[in-house]
Amino acid sequence: MLNDCAFVGETLLKYLPYGIEKQHIKRSRGFWSKTFDLTYRVLRAKGDIYHVHYLLQDCYIASRFGKKPLIGHAHGSDLRTSLHHPLWNSIVKHNLRSCSKILVSTPDILGKARQYRKDAEYIPNPVDPQLFYPKPMRGNGSKTHVLIASDSNWKVKGTHIAIRALSRIRGEVEVSIIKHGKDFEKTIALATSLGINLKVLPRVPHEELNKYYWNADVVIDRFALGSLGMVSLEAIACGRPALAYVSSDYPENEDFPLKDLKDEEDIAETIKNISSDLWKKQYNFLKNHHEINKIEERLLSIYSELSQKQLDHK
Give yes or no for a contact between 58 and 71, defined as CB atoms under 8 angstroms apart: no
Q: Write the pLDDT tens digit of every residue in 172-217.
A: 999 999 999 999 999 999 999 999 999 999 999 999 999 999 999 9
Q: Confidence class of residue 34 from pLDDT cuts 50, 70 and 90? A: confident
Instruction: Give residue 35's pLDDT.
Output: 82
| CA angle, residues 108, 110, 113, in degrees to nearest 5 | 130
CA atoms in the 13 A half-sphere facing the CB of 202:
3
Superfamily of segment(s) 144-289: Glycogen Phosphorylase B; (3.40.50.2000)
- Is-cis flag, bond preceding 251, omega within 30? no
Complete edge-to-edge strand list for the sheet that includes strand 173-178: 198-201, 173-178, 144-148, 218-220, 242-243
* Pure H helices in the chain: 8-14, 36-44, 57-64, 77-80, 89-98, 110-114, 159-167, 184-193, 209-214, 230-237, 264-272, 276-289, 292-313
Of 141, 157, 142, 202, which Cα lies nearest the Cα of 177? 202
User: Residue type at 228?
Assistant: L
Q: Confidence class of residue 141 from pLDDT cuts 50, 70 and 90? A: confident
Instruction: Give residue 261's pLDDT.
Output: 96
214-234 burial, b at 16+ Cβ within 10 Å, e below that, comes to bebbbbbbbbbbbbbbbbbbb
User: Same CATH fold, 144-289 and 8-126+292-313?
Assistant: yes
Complete edge-to-edge strand list for the sheet that includes strand 70-74: 50-53, 70-74, 101-104, 121-122
241-250 burial, b at 16+ Cβ within 10 Å, e below that, comes to bbbbbbbeeb
- Calpha distance 47→66 (Å, rounded): 12
> Beta strands 173-178 and 50-53: pairing type?
unpaired
Torsion of CA 95, 101, 106, 110, to 10 degrees: 80
Give yes or no for a contact between 19 and 273, defined as CB atoms under 8 angstroms apart: no
Q: Write the pLDDT tens digit of every residue in 56-101.
A: 999 999 999 999 999 999 999 999 999 999 989 999 999 999 999 9
Q: Write the pLDDT tens digit of every residue in 101-135.
A: 999 999 999 999 999 999 999 999 999 999 999 99
Does 8-126+292-313 carry CATH code 3.20.20.70?
A: no
Q: Where are the domains of the chain?
A: 8-126+292-313, 144-289
